[in-house]
Amino acid sequence: MDRRRFLSAGLGLGALALTGNARADAATYQRFHAALARDKSLAVYADQVGEQSGLAVVEGRLPKDLQGSFYRNGPGRFELGRERYHHWFDGDGFVQRWTIDGGKVRHHGRFVETRRFRDESEAGQFLYPAFGTMFARRGFRDNDTLNAANTNLLPFNGRLYALWEGGSATEVDPDTLATLGIKTWRDDVKAMPFSAHPKLDPQGGMWNFGALPGANRLALYQIDAAGALLRTGVLEVPQLAMVHDFAVSAKHLVFVVPPYDFSGDSALSFAERHSWAGSGARARPTRVVVVAKDTLTLRQVFELPPQMVFHLGNAWDDGDCTRFDVVLHAGDALAGLGSLMSGTRADNALGRSQAVQVCLDYASGRATTGRLLGPSEFPRVMPQVIGTRHRRLALLSSDRANRELVLDTVNVVDTDSGKVDSYRFGAGWQVEEHVLVPRRGARNERDGYLVGVAQDTRRGVGVLSVFDAAKISNGPLALASLPYRTPHCFHGNFLAT
C-alpha cells in the first residue's frame, strides 16, 4: 500500500501552524457546569477522573451460562485546565470491563494512556487538535499523536484493542486494561486510519477499513485469524466524507457515504471541515459504494436520498441483490452532537431517523428501502450470522416525542415479519448500545441474551442489564448496579469464557 500517497492529503499532518492559541475557551466549561447544576442527568457527559473498580449489586438472577467479559469504550476526559471540549467525540478513551462470573458482576475502568493523553496530562492543558475542537499548542508527527482510542473495545485473537478511526488500534491488557501500546499490523500501514468498526468473520479473521476524506480514499484491510495482515487495497471515492461504519456480506464490502463537502482549511477541526451538502438546489444524494471482496475493487455505486449515516447492521447476498440494515438520519446529525458539551440537549436529528433494510439490485442499479423501526440507533446482530442472512436486529430507540439524544428503549426487530419486541427503561434512564450474545451451541438467533449498560441518572449509577433475547418485553433477567456512575460508552463486545 502506498502509505505516503494515502496520507498526503490528510489531517494537515506535519503542517500545523503553531499559533499558541486554542479556539476553545472557558465558556463551554462554564456553560456545562451551570447546566449540570440544574439538570443532574447531564452527568452522563461529565468529566471522569481516575480509575474505577467496584462490585455490582445484582437484582434478579444472572443466567448460569452467561459467563465472560463485556468490554466497553467511550470518551471519558472532556476537561483540562478549566477548558472543555466542544464535541462529544473528542474525549480521551475510557475503557471498561464488566466481568460476569459465578453470579457476580465486577467492574473496572481506566483511561487508555495514549500519546495524546500522556502529553496533555503532563502539560495540564489540551495541546492537539481533536475531532470537533481545534487546539494548536503543539505540533504533531502523524495521526497517532492525536489518537483518542475512544470508540470501541475489540477482543481479537487473544488480544484486546481500543479503537478510534483516524489512526491505529491501541492494544490494552484484557485483564487489567493497562495500555500496552500502538498496534502496527504491518510497517507500510503504520499510523494509517483504522476504523472503530471491524467486522469479525464467523469463520475467523477480520475485515476493516480506514477513511481519509481529505484524500478521497478508503483503505481496505483483510486480517487473518492469527492477526496477520493478508491483503490491503486503496479505493478512490470522490467527495468522500466521514464514513464511520460499514457492512460485510459473503462477497462484498458495503460503505454508505453521506453528502458532505470537506474543507481543506487546517484552521478548522475535523468535524468543522464537514459542511452538509444534502439540501438546497444542488443537494447531493447519499451514495452506497459496493466493493468486491475477491478483488478489493469497486463493483457498483447506488444512490439514496440525502441522509446522514453513522451505523450499519449486517449485510448478505440475496441472488443478484445485496441487502443490509442501516440507520438513516434526515439531515446533518453530526453537527447536533456538539451542543451536548455545553449542556444543551439540542435537536440532533435522532427524531428524524429510521432504521431501514436496503436492497441493492445490481441489474437495475436501484437501491430500495424497507422500514424496520422509527427513530433509533446502534444496530447489532448475533455474531455467528455476520455476512449471512439474519432475522433478528437489536436497536436502541427513544419513547420520547422530542429529539433530544436520550435513548431509553431496547428493541429486537424481526426483519422478516417486522414485529418489534421492546422494553422501555423509563424516565431518568439513558441506555447505551446493547449487544446480542449467543448461548453456547445456539440453534438460532433467538437462543441467547441481549446485554448492555444503562445509566440511571436519578441515582447517578451505571447498570449492567441482561435480557432473554427471545423475550425482551418481559423485562431484564438481571440488573447489576454499581455504587457510582460510569462514563457513557459508544461501543463494545462480549467475550464469553
Taking the C-alpha atoms of residue 150 and residue 137, their distance in angstroms, rounded to an integer, is: 22
Rg value, the chain, Cα: 21
DSSP 320: S
**64 and 91 Cβ atoms separated by less than 8 Å:** no
**149 and 132 Cβ atoms separated by less than 8 Å:** no
Tell me the H-state helices in 39-190: 115-123
At residue 358's C-alpha, the angle toward residues 355 and 362, to 5°, is 170
**143 and 165 Cβ atoms separated by less than 8 Å:** no
Cα distances from 352 to residues 32, 330, 422, in angstroms, run: 26, 5, 20
**77 and 70 Cβ atoms separated by less than 8 Å:** no
**254 and 288 Cβ atoms separated by less than 8 Å:** yes
Closest-CA residue to 469 (of 436, 434, 430): 436
Phi, psi at 143, each rounded to 5°: -60, -30
DSSP 165: S
Tally of CB atoms within 10 A around 392: 23
Taking the C-alpha atoms of residue 300 and residue 366, their distance in angstroms, rounded to an integer, is: 11
By DSSP bridging, strand 104-111 and strand 52-55 are antiparallel
pTM here is 0.95
* One-letter identity of residue 234: V
Taking the C-alpha atoms of residue 104 and residue 327, their distance in angstroms, rounded to an integer, is: 35
DSSP 408: -
What integer pLDDT is reported at residue 114 of this predicted model?
98
Closest-CA residue to 447 (of 438, 456, 455): 438
* One-letter identity of residue 415: T
**211 and 193 Cβ atoms separated by less than 8 Å:** yes
What integer pLDDT is reported at residue 333 of this predicted model?
86
Taking the C-alpha atoms of residue 170 and residue 97, their distance in angstroms, rounded to an integer, is: 16
Q: Across the strands, what pairs with 423?
A: 410
Q: State the DSSP string of 452-486.
A: EEEEETTTTEEEEEEEETT-GGG--SEEEE-SS--
Sequence-ordered list of residues with C-beta below 8 angstroms from that of 456, at least 6 positions apart, any chain = 428, 429, 462, 463, 481
Helix (H, G, I), strand (E, B) or coil at 350: helix
As given in the structure block, the three cell numbers for residue 260 are 458532505
What integer pLDDT is reported at residue 403 of this predicted model?
52
As given in the structure block, the three cell numbers for residue 168 are 491505529
Q: Across the strands, what pairs with 394?
A: 380, 412
Q: How confident is the prediction along the chain (497 residues), in pLDDT tens digits per residue?
A: 666 555 544 443 333 334 445 565 689 999 999 999 999 999 999 999 999 999 999 999 999 999 999 999 999 999 999 999 999 999 999 999 999 999 999 999 999 999 999 999 999 999 999 999 999 999 999 999 999 999 999 999 999 999 999 999 999 999 999 999 999 999 999 999 999 999 998 889 999 999 999 899 999 999 999 999 999 999 999 999 999 999 999 999 999 999 999 999 989 999 999 999 999 999 999 999 999 999 999 999 999 999 999 999 999 999 999 999 999 999 888 877 778 899 987 655 566 899 999 999 999 999 999 999 999 999 999 999 999 999 999 999 987 655 566 899 999 999 999 999 999 998 899 999 999 999 999 999 999 999 999 999 999 999 999 999 999 999 999 999 999 999 999 999 999 99
What integer pLDDT is reported at residue 399 of this predicted model?
72
**357 and 372 Cβ atoms separated by less than 8 Å:** yes
Closest-CA residue to 275 (of 262, 256, 257): 262
Helix (H, G, I), strand (E, B) or coil at 342: helix
Tally of CB atoms within 10 A around 22: 17
Fold of 3-496: Methylamine Dehydrogenase; Chain H (2.130.10)
